[in-house]
Chain A
Amino acid sequence: MKNRQYITGVYYDDKELLDGIIQIQKSDIPIFDVRTPFPVHGLDDVLKFKRSRLPRLGFVAGTLGAILAFVFQVWVFSSSWPLNFGGKPFFSVPSFIPVTFEMAVLFAAISLVFGFLIKSGIGPGAPALIFDERTSDNVFLVVLEFVDDSHEQKIFNVLKEAGAEDIKSINPSLQNE
């Protein structure tokens, strides 16, 4: 396989980054990735990301947790081992609500976090493809990928026109190997 090569351009402000990306998108060069030190508002719209399905995952898991907790409590108290507490009914919905709620929240939260980690391919000790160590500090980085060397100059020009600075072609370093 041919070695992948990347060209990166630097921005120092989130608004300039957004304007720059819109400019780059006018050419037909696809954007490989954008690295930012913090979540930039509007960036996902500009990059046309699909809406995350995590909320739906959370909803499904939460519902599952609630149903499991409720059914389990009902089973314990009206079928497995009914206990008489001061003559109160075995099937007492109000006193099952707190545990049902807590389990719904717990299931939803855990599934959200694991969904996020798995979908993003990150986790303890996961390798990180770093193009520029300053992206976690103060630099907004646009990364373009090219395979054919003849594209290189063209990409340089596109980035330059889009106001990016410090444009260079780069082989990323893999952390955590």
Chain B
Amino acid sequence: MYISPIREPLVTGSKSYKQVTDDITKPMDGKPGRLWFVGLGLALLALMLGGVAIFVTVWDGIGSWGLNRTIGWGWGITNFVWWVGIGHAGTFISAILLLFRQKWRTSINRSAEAMTIFAVMCAGLFPLLHMGRLPLGFFVFPYPNTRDLWVNFNSPLLWDVFAISTYFMVSLLFWYMGLIPDIATIRDRLKRSFKKKVYAVLSFGWTGSARHWARHESMSLILAGLAAPLVLSVHSIVSMDFATSVIPGWHTTIFPPYFVAGAVFSGFAMVLTLMIITRKALNLQNYITVGHVESMNKVIIATGSIVGIAYITELFMAWYSGVVYERFAFVNRAFGPYWWAYWIMMTCNVITPQLFWFKKIRRNLAATFIISIFVNIGMWFERFVIIVTSLHRDFLPSSWAMYSPTWVEVGVYLGTFGLFFTLFFLFIRFFPVVAIAEVKSVLRSSGENFVRKGVENEK
């Protein structure tokens, strides 16, 4: 392995392998703290609210939402796209950064992937609910039925079904296969008990045999190679839900790359928001270092700038195309009745992330935390702006309308937060937040003295 003489260490505090195991599994020992129970309690509360809102949606029908004849897609699809976007960071980190041999990914990939899986679960709920009849959701799959009808393979909405379900499946497999060796670590630490038996089953009988590792490596690399284009395809297809229509403001060829950049942008922001708290709460500052935060901020500024350029390109093309409808749509976005949403989006996505050009801000945790929340808000408003402002001024002025959500829509949205955080709290309690085996494999890549000292420490 190449050992870099000047690069800052990926794991600070001159840890030995044993310390790595101890530090990362420590939050799982003993009883959880009060903070954990409070967090889980709040999440469950939000989840229950979501349950009520979903019940009302299914019982009363979509009429309980604030949608109308003109604006048929409101918070539901906004939240769907927002959650799918957040679900892009995990697989981006574990697949694309693996292919690029970015070693710093090892400390954050496990939790980011978990967030991906939870976010995609939240996302999937919205189209399902929006269809109105939950038990008939399986109609979206092409199965032989008595009506002899098939689904419409020309529709991006159907491509979405395939893209999102494939993405969920592949992310889940990738995540769990990476988790097996770490579960085995936990199994081997536990004394004989029921808990040990559970982890033994979950560890799939992993022994750390060299032959298994070789195969595991080979599989992970190919899975990463498959997941990398998959990540890009998912949000490209989501963007085609809009781009293949003829609505001014949606009918744009730059949507796929623009959406993918936006997805990685918002995903990284969410990972940062949560990891800055988690590393402190679980005492993992030596593993998720300021260096990691800085690297992620660099990705944020790159993708944020792509998003900014996309906004400006859209404006330019609206003017340059000479299409009056397109021009109106964009002037209306910025200065129409939803001007506030547009300027929140512009401020949070284009202006504030540019602060990361300063190294001081990039390496400042408080500033990063605040800006990452700004990005989360901004990216939600991006989807709201794209969906609602493009729809609310129809081709016929007689059908112009305004839209605001009812408590049911807000409740479903808060409910998905509940689902996400419930799963996240359970995850940090029962599984290692940092990929133990992967961190160990990059531990001694920072200087020869360190390696010698490491061997001594191990005994």
Contact = CB atoms under 8 A, between A and B. Distances in A.
Interface stretch (B52-60, B184-192, B339-347): B184-192
A128 B136 CA distance: 43
B159 interface: yes
A64 to B, nearest CB: 14
B173 interface: yes
Contact of A102 (B166, B208, B458): B166
Highest count of chain A CB atoms <10 Å: which of B174, B207, B213:
B207
B163 A16 contact: no
Nearest to B151: A76
B428 interface: no
Given A13-B454, A105-B170, A58 B226 contact: yes
Contact of B219 (A51, A54, A129): A54
A38 B226 contact: no
Given A16-B455, A112-B219, A136-B184, A106 B210 contact: no
Nearest to B190: A133
B113 to A, nearest CB: 14
A176 B454 contact: no
Given A34-B210, A81-B149, A83-B152, A12 B188 contact: no
B177 interface: yes
A: contact size bracket: 35 or more
Contact of A113 (B149, B177, B189, B213): B177
Contacts of B233: 98, 101-102
Contacts of A110: 169, 173
A54, A88, A130, A137: residue with the most chain B Cβ atoms closer than 10 Å: A137
A124 interface: yes
B390 interface: no
A119 interface: yes
Contacts of B201: 124-125, 176
Interface centre among A108, A113, A119 (most CB of B within 10 A): A113
Interface residues of B, number: 70
Interface string A121-157: 1111111111001111110000000000000000000
A55 B149 CA distance: 37
A55 to B, nearest CB: 5
Interface in B430-452: 437-438, 440-441, 444, 451
A43 B214 contact: yes
Given A92-B154, A128-B184, A137-B18, A105 B166 contact: yes
Contacts of A125: 200-201, 204-205
A122 to B, nearest CB: 4
Contact of B212 (A47, A120, A123, A124): A120
Contact of B188 (A34, A40, A136): A136
15 contacts: A40-B210, A43-B210, A73-B153, A81-B148, A85-B154, A98-B159, A98-B233, A102-B162, A102-B230, A113-B177, A122-B206, A122-B212, A128-B203, A130-B188, A135-B188
Interface of B: 1, 16-18, 21, 142, 148-150, 152-154, 156, 158-159, 162-163, 166, 169-170, 173-174, 177, 180-181, 184-185, 187-189, 197, 200-219, 222-223, 226-227, 229-230, 233, 237, 240, 437-438, 440-441, 444, 451, 454-455, 458-459
Interface of A: 12-16, 33-41, 43-44, 47, 49, 51-52, 54-55, 58, 62, 72-73, 76-77, 80-81, 83, 85, 88, 92, 95-96, 98-99, 101-103, 105-106, 108-110, 112-113, 115-117, 119-130, 133-138, 175-176
